Amino acid sequence: MARTASYVHKGDPLPSFSLGLTNSSQEEAATQEGASTQEGGMEKTLETPKLLKQLGDLVEKIANSGVKAESKSPQIQKESGEESSRKIATSRGTRLKKYADGSTNEFDNVCTLIAQDKYILTRMHLASLKAESYIEAEIVSTMCLILNQKNDERFQEEVNCLPPDIVYSVGCIFSISFVISQLLHNMAIAKHPKGELISPKTNKEFRVEDYPMFISFIDAKKLTSHRYIFAPVCHSNYWWLWLIDTRKWRFYIIDPYHTKCPADERKDLNKFIGYVISRMRVYAGGAPLKRKENEKEIRAPYVNISGQKTSYDCAIYVMKWLELIEPENIKRAKYEWDNWTQDEVDHYRVEYASRILFSEMNKDRAEAIRGSNAI
């Protein structure tokens, strides 16, 4: 069996910067010329810890360079003042700059992604890619948007990735943590706290139309035409992946840690997620995932798959699986593959920072290039 980790990114070319990240076309050429790479190995121009430190320096430099943009991304209500800064500084270990008005630079813009609309990443979001950190939901959403624009057969014809900002902010439940809670309290989570179809707070059923701030990021054409829907979901800082085959009407949950549903609460949540995705598809002009009342009873079995070795890498697995999982290879609710080493997983954090900052979709890409060259 071929090692999945031998996957080489073929999307937006990445400049060969001092950050230690190489152009994907250069990697392919080196492989074709017989460069010695062990099966499943990954060539690194620098050790991963050093790369992660340089990533932090790069984010720091870009954030301090004054990159500003009018945010059209879904607005997140921030915790106030000192509590917000203390939580971020403690959990990220980042160097916070304090302004004269008492605010800090954790929410300074560092990346403006031009997708269906502007999508803004702040210093805090990029800092979550540091080693042993829980990754912000906005990073996963950004990779979904980048992959959906990727010029290859998988994403142009077969797979549509639903950004989790849409999926969980519109229709899921979370045990709140600072990493993602600010986006959720103001959206459907507060209205459907246990995945109920009828909100106990508003006494109304879920409607996509009630969340106009997210609608602009839905790619209606791909959501209705592509065979597969991949939808990352997060709960209590933990990520898993919904996979839907709209041709055979099959549903799967691919979880980096669990091979079966861990709790009844999760069953209700997943049933609600299925309904939300189905409603989104109808809103986009497609057919529901199931007809009539059955749409509210969509159930997806868990796939038996080898997953993460730590408590904080689930988002890395989910983002990589968006590109690597072949649904037709799911046999009897089992997916056979060769898992990554922890060093490979750590290195993917650097890879994602590179792919985001140096993406052609990033309006602030030139600033990232200048910052990387300076480092």
* Residue written as token pair 């809670």: 181
Class of 4-374 per CATH? alpha beta
Residue 10 is given by DSSP the state -
Query: Nearest to residue 323, comparing CAs of 251, 215, 232, 214?
Result: 232
d(Cα 40, Cα 3) in Å, to the nearest integer? 5
- HSE on the CB side for 341, CA within 13 Å? 9
Determine the pLDDT at residue 375: 57
Total residues belonging to the chain: 375
pLDDT of residue 372: 73
Pairing status of strand 228-235 against strand 159-161: parallel
Q: In the prediction, which pLDDT does 36 show?
A: 38
- The pLDDT averaged over each successive group of 10 residues in the chain (375 residues) is 41 42 37 38 54 69 55 39 35 53 70 86 88 90 93 95 67 30 40 68 80 80 95 87 95 95 89 89 94 91 94 95 95 94 92 92 87 69
Q: Which residue has the tokens 């056979």?
A: 336
Residue 211's pLDDT is what?
Answer: 76
- Identify the three-state secondary structure at position 59: helix
Domain ranges of the chain: 4-374
Q: What is the pLDDT of residue 73?
A: 44
Write out the two tokens for 188. 């459907």
- Tell me, what's the pLDDT at 18? 38
Burial 237-264 (b: 16+ CB within 10 A, else e): bbbbbbbbebeeeebbbbbbbbeebeee
- 298 Cβ contact list (under 8 Å, min separation 6): 251, 271, 274, 275, 278, 289, 290
Number of helices and strands in the chain (H, E): 15, 6
Residue 38 pLDDT? 39
**What CA–CA distance (Å, rounded) separates 209 from 130?**
36
Contact yes or no for 289/274 (Cβ under 8 A): yes
Report the Cα–Cα distance between both ends of the chain, in Å, rounded: 40
- What is the model's pLDDT at position 161? 93
* Structure confidence at residue 104 (pLDDT): 60
pTM of this structure: 0.75
Specify the pLDDT at position 3.
Answer: 43
